[in-house]
Structure 1
Amino acid sequence: MSLELYLDLISPSCRAIYIFAKMNNIHFDYFPMDVLQGQQHSKEFEAISVLRKVPVLREGSFILAESVAILLYLTHKYSTSIYWYPPNIHTRASIDEYMAWQHEGMHITMEKVLWSKLLIPMITGQEVPKEKMDDILEEVQTNLQLFCDHFLKDKPFITGTIISLADLMAVVEMMQPVSASYNIFLGKPKLNAWRLRVEETVGSRLFQEAHQKLLTIKKWDTSILHPSVREKILIMIESITT
């Protein structure tokens, strides 16, 4: 029974799963998706997951969505290194705390930068108003400071001296603004040193491979958009400009 992963590496959660599986030598059949072209809304994919979003894991009749659930499933089932999600209850609680915070504290904020600085201007030809852009970037800086002060502190990694699932989930989110030419690591030596440690642990080749699609998104052909993408653009514009 083969392990199938349906991923779009434009997505930070998909990149985390891809990197994790590769690092731990988990054999999987990779099914690349293109959410910007709406492939997650196809009848073929809906037959696999009615949630119609990536990532998705399938093993025979077993189907699992949601990135945290997939990562934890992989750590439990496969012979992954113990440091990803250690048995110590306090260490696990620290990882769980970050992963519970990261959607609102990191994902939404970083995604706003990608859309407002790059995708919305690319697609609509209109720049996001400066005052709104300033508000978004201020929120980014506030949340990055929270990350450093509360989660990272003075440790090499979130849980101490070695990488964990929390570090992997965090770094892929922080790469979102970089693709929009907004390098959040500039002027932040502690944060940048942490990122470099994570990338070195992952391996630069694998790290770059996983982020290639994101970092070349400026070349994306915006002439054909799936209706779901247009709807997301309208929602994003409304949330940013109101």
Structure 2
Amino acid sequence: MASRRLVEVYLDLMSQPCRAIHILLNCNKIPHTVRSVALRKGEQRTPDFTKLNPMQKVPVMEDNGFVLTESDAIMKYLATKYAIPEHWYPRQPERRARVDEYTAWHHTNTRPHAARVFILEVLLPAQTGSHVDEVRLNRALSQLQDTLDKLESMFLRRQPFLCGDDITVADLLAVCELMQPMVGGRDVLQQRPQLQHWRSRVQSAVGDSFDKAHAVLYAARDRRKAKL
């Protein structure tokens, strides 16, 4: 009988969803192998990777021949299949529905609004050599503030984590997005004590897996700061 291969994940840790998967795997000690895909070098467009994922995007997971894309699907698959604490993606229907509710909302709110701040303040100026478009950046920051308001008033209302009393995959997806603007030296939660406390709870819950996943982001922040 052929031996079972470890889960393989194709990641670029400058990618927010990739970091969320990295944290979930490491803090739960799921045996796995990381295959690095450097987006800045265009490695997602190589023939081998395109065969694996024709959409040419990370993350990608391969589990004993089963290939899966999209961070939300990958995290829920891992939480369902492997022997990790049930709170990550609860089996009880109402609690699971709360996680699904947030992750559905996440992809049209937290993710695009936080990412746009990073793109306008860091990525586009680095790629084009142009100055930051302050008008567009201020508009993006305003949209992000609306999203942060909803995180506080809806998802963190009277509970420590986004979907209840325990950390779930939803918290990992959200916190990794909200960390991304730090590359530009911007902490989008600076004036948000409720969200700061939530971020601290997430960090405490996952231990050193948080900083390991974000090491590349911290390094990018420090390099950028040194050039200013």
Same-fold call, TM cutoff 0.5:
yes
1:116 to 110, 115, 120: 120
CA distance, structure 1, for counterparts of residue 218 and residue 170 of structure 2: 22
1:179 offset after TM fit, Å?
Answer: 1.7
- 1:35 paired with 2:10, answer no
The unaligned stretches of length 5 or more in structure 2 are none
Deviation (angstroms), 1:213: 1.3
Alignment match, 1:22? 26
SS at match of 1:195: helix
The letter for the 1-side match of 2:215 is: Q
- SS state at 2:53 partner: coil
- 3-state SS of paired residue (2:10): strand
Superposition pairs of residues 64-79 of structure 1, within 5 angstroms: 64-79=68-83
Q: Does 1:96 align with 2:107?
A: no
2:43 is equivalent to residue 55 of structure 1 = no
Give 1:211's aligned residue.
Answer: 214
Letter aligned with residue 113 of structure 1: V
- Of residues 120, 139, 145, the one that matches 1:141 is 145
Q: Distance in 2 between matches of 1:90 and 1:117?
A: 39
**Cα-to-partner distance string for 1:99-130 (whole Å, 9 max, x where unaligned):** 00111101111111111111211222212322
**TM-score under structure 2 normalisation?**
0.92
Distance 1:172 1:97 in 2: 18
Q: Distance in 2 between matches of 1:39 and 1:214?
A: 19
Q: Sequence identity, in percent?
A: 35
Aligned Cα root-mean-square deviation (Å): 1.3
User: CA separation in 1, counterparts of 2:14 and 2:29?
Assistant: 22
Distance 1:125 1:154 in 2: 45
Is the CA contact (8 Å cut-off) linking 1:49 and 1:56 kept in structure 2?
A: yes
Give the secondary structure class of the aligned counterpart of 2:160. coil
Q: Normalising to structure 1: TM-score of the pair?
A: 0.87
**SS in structure 1 at match of 2:35:** strand
Give the Å deviation of 1:77.
Answer: 1.1
Alignment-mate amino acid for residue 43 of structure 2: Q
Give the gaps of 5 or more residues in structure 1. 221-242
Shift, 1:154, TM fit: 2.3
Aligned length: 219
Q: Is the 8 A contact 1:121 1:127 kept in 2?
A: yes
